[in-house]
Amino acid sequence: ENTLGGTIHANFDLQIQHNLFIVAEHDFRVRHCLVALPGTKKENLSKIISHPQGLAQCDSYIKNLGVSSEAAYDTAGSAKLIAEGKLESVAAICSELAATSYGLEVLESGIEDDPHNFTRFLLLRNSPVRVAASTPCKTSIAFSLEDSTGALFKALSVFALRDISLSKIESRPCKPDVMKRLQRLFWSVSGSWDAVQVAKSSGDFKDSRAGYPY
């Protein structure tokens, strides 16, 4: 997920689908560059290509430039498409490293709309990691609730009453074959898995469908 472009929802869906566990995370400062074939001038550009997240993170810059944009499969892949296809008047939004790797010229650096542009990358594996309760950590959960008055409030209160800080909550559409409920909610909380398990077994939250913790 990115501080400017938001969550990449497909990744969360795939994580549940394949039953993977988060074991670490890394916040990476993203710095985007506008790159093109050597000799290209910005005023001659007709199109900018990049991954949808790259385009979203540079949306204001692209609009001010007055050039159309087109989504591609990857930021570095966009640079590769331009280099291999020798696409004139087309620029890519990618890293300086990608530009160097594919022999492209950097027309402008630091074009992201906000200097606080960070992407959170996750390290996944097939089994969870258990840590001591005293170790500062974060636990994420995917769960669904019955459609009843105050169900979400009651589930949230279980964590609040135990001083477990909720850092993020997000509702997602749910396919019937995933949880057989109308929606699932992704949580990130500050606390160990053991602490979350205590809360999970308490009060109204114990009736939720939380079979896909990570």
Annotated active-site positions, please? 119, 121
Strands 33-36 and 90-94: antiparallel
For 78, half-sphere exposure in the C-beta direction (CA atoms, 13 angstrom radius) is 29
Q: Which of 115, 131, 103, 116 is nearest to 21 (CA)?
A: 131
Would you give the DSSP letter of residue 209? B
Which residues, other chains included, contact 167 with Cβ-Cβ below 8 Å and sequence gap of 6+? 138, 188, 189, 190
Under 8 Å between Cβ of 82 and 88: no
The total number of residues written for the chain in this structure: 214
Cα distance between residue 82 and residue 60, in whole Å:
23
138: tokens are 């974060």
By the 10 Å C-beta count (0-12 exposed, 13-18 middle, 19+ buried), 153 is classed as: exposed
CA 35 centroid distance within chain:
24
Alpha-carbon Rg for the chain, nearest whole angstrom, is 21
